[in-house]
Chains A and B, each alone.
Chain A
Amino acid sequence: EVQLVESGGGLVQPGGSLRLSCAASGFTFSTYWMNWVRQAPGMRLEWVANIKEDGSQERYVDSVKGRFTISRDNAKNSLYLQMNSLRVEDTAVYYCAKGTSRGAGIFEYWGQGTVVTVSS
């Protein structure tokens, strides 16, 4: 059974940093693109970033470029999102989502999410 478990969310002040983690199990982690998707309260889903199977490529939505860094550790079956210079508008539930063999942009499985609140 595929499982994705996020952690690391919390309350942080504007300008602060957080590192989210996603522990994966139930599939061969090293053979799939992985994604972070977020959802602000009452808003639509927003794709944030993804990373290739071997970590050689990363892509970001413009609003987080230069502030967020996605990474992975295939030996630990783990995905990360380092978030720096956080803004109020980064407040959201952050989900990790597994890609598929058909393409990185089909979000086949999702974690339960971790809540990030940016507020003073």
Chain B
Amino acid sequence: EIVLTQSPGTLSLSPGERATLSCRASQSVSSYLAWYQQKPGQAPRLLIYDASNRATGIPARFSGSGSGTDFTLTISSLEPEDFAVYYCQQRSNWPPYTFGQGTELEIK
């Protein structure tokens, strides 16, 4: 089973700042990595799939990069609605698909 480790656990930033979230896989997942956003009491929302492709309707301030074992989600300029928990997920080696433990992006 592929283990995904996200860092940092919590990221404290202000609106307008740039956010950089990391996800590291225990073995290569090629580019088969996705990012999701989850707000309290809500279902996750797909942001990025296959490392760098934005999902339908996702603003351009969200971007993804990386391949192999190291991936990054970047939010270029934080909006108030971006403060949430972010999860990475791999689909390279399954079953099972696996998720990271999450990064909480909080308002500083």
Known A-B contacts A102-B49, A106-B34, A107-B36; A112 and B102 likewise in contact (beta carbons under 8 Å): no
Closest Cβ of chain B: how far from A43's Cβ, in Å? 8
The answer on a CB contact under 8 Å between A61 and B96 is yes
- What is the CA–CA distance of A11 and B55 in the complex, to the nearest angstrom? 35
Interface string of A28-50 (1 = CB under 8 A from B): 00000000000000001111000
Closest Cβ of chain A: how far from B53's Cβ, in Å? 9
Q: Which of B80-97 contact A (CB under 8 A)?
A: 87, 89, 91, 94-97
User: Number of B interface residues, CB 8 Å?
Assistant: 23
- What is the CA–CA distance of A100 and B56 in the complex, to the nearest angstrom? 12
The 9 listed contacts between A and B (C-beta, < 8 Å) are: A44-B99, A44-B101, A62-B96, A100-B49, A102-B49, A104-B91, A106-B34, A108-B55, A111-B43
Q: Which of A61, A106, A112 has the most CB of B within 10 A?
A: A106
Q: Which of B52-94 contact A (CB under 8 A)?
A: 55, 87, 89, 91, 94
Known A-B contacts A47-B97, A100-B49; A107 and B102 likewise in contact (beta carbons under 8 Å): no
Give the top 8 A-B pairs by smallest Cβ distance, nearest first. A105-B91, A110-B43, A47-B97, A45-B99, A61-B96, A59-B95, A106-B49, A105-B97
Q: Which of A69-96 contact B (CB under 8 A)?
A: 95
Known A-B contacts A44-B99, A44-B102, A62-B96; A106 and B43 likewise in contact (beta carbons under 8 Å): no
Closest Cβ of chain B: how far from A7's Cβ, in Å? 15
Task: Verify if B7 is at the interface (C-beta below 8 Å from A).
Answer: no
Q: Which residue of B lies closest to A45 (CB)?
A: B99
- What is the CA–CA distance of A113 and B45 in the complex, to the nearest angstrom? 13
Q: Chain A interface (Cβ within 8 Å of chain B)?
A: 44-47, 59-62, 95, 100, 102-113
Known A-B contacts A44-B87, A44-B102, A45-B87; A107 and B46 likewise in contact (beta carbons under 8 Å): yes
Please, which residues of chain B bring their CB within 8 A of the CB of A105? Answer: 32, 89, 91, 94, 97
Known A-B contacts A110-B44, A111-B43, A112-B43; A103 and B91 likewise in contact (beta carbons under 8 Å): yes
